[in-house]
Amino acid sequence: MGVSPAAKLALGDTLIDPVSNHPQYIPYAGFPTSNTVAQAIRPYPQYYGVNDFYAYNTSSNYSSLQLTVTKHLTHGLGFLAAYTWSKTMGYQDSNGGTVGYGVPQDFFNRKLEYSLASFNQPQNFKLTWTYDLPVGTSRKLDLHWANYVVGGWQLSGIHNYASGFPVYVNYGGYNTPAGFGSIRPDVVSGVPMTLGTISSLKTDFTDPVQWLNPTAFAVQPLSGNGVPLRVGTAPRNLNIRGPMTLSETFRISKSFAFFHEKATFKLGMTMQNPFKRTYAYLADQTVGDSAFGQLLEGGASRTMQLDGRIDF
């Protein structure tokens, strides 16, 4: 509400001129002529903003295949594995909101916003497990007096492996007049959007490597003062995906009973990123920037946390 159709962008610099320069757009007698033409052509030009609060007038679509395998704790081992193959499409990525659609390109052509959801990962595998080492009293390997120290340890892990998130592109040089949406750049038809798969590129921590193809994206025609003359052809999220998610967390823990088993000391250590995995990430997603579409390497840090607790 209170917004103009994107087709009006074709007026270009006229939109940012004072309406006094273009009296044919004055909406009613007494309208402040210092306001811009863009303000004058709004559906409710007397207001600078009209919001439809909590307008639940959008939708999304989620389709998936889900598989779960559970092994209950027997012989010291238990695990839960879950795999999801899915696709999420929608007009926006949040549920509801104060202005319903947020800021689409064209409030009067909302189908332009229908794309992959930014959080969609089509392949997702998760595994959690625990394993009681077979050392201790009444276990496969009973070390008697040594059980107090080396027996009763438990190992556990969390694994998460998933596809990358969809990539989006933007442009920061638009001079978008009041009353219009969030304009995106163009995707050039027939030109590959990437220069290869991420796995085929050798990324580095300081030396970026080009992944997105700069010639596949362009800024649509602009007026002399940077007003976009139409909406862009780029979807809200592109049908290409960034780097995969690969992560593990391991833990080892043990309980020590003392004071005639009236109290327990629990000792544990958690290790995040035990394999020192690295990951690639996009340094810049703004069309026209010198670093647009370049990948850098991150990660490689391993974190270990030691914890202890007394229960009594």
Q: What is the pLDDT of residues 66-103, one digit of tens each?
A: 999 999 989 889 999 999 999 999 988 876 554 455 67
What are the sequence ranges of the domains in the chain?
A: 1-50, 51-311
Residue 44 has pLDDT above 50, yes or no: yes
CB 297 within 8 A of CB 279: yes
User: The pTM is what?
Assistant: 0.83
48-64 per-position pLDDT tens digit: 877 766 666 678 899 99
**Any idea what DSSP says for residue 241?**
B
Task: In whole angstroms, give the CA distance from residue 225 to residue 13.
Answer: 6
Nearest to 287 by CA among 228, 223, 242, 220: 220
Confidence of residue 263 (pLDDT cuts 50, 70, 90): confident
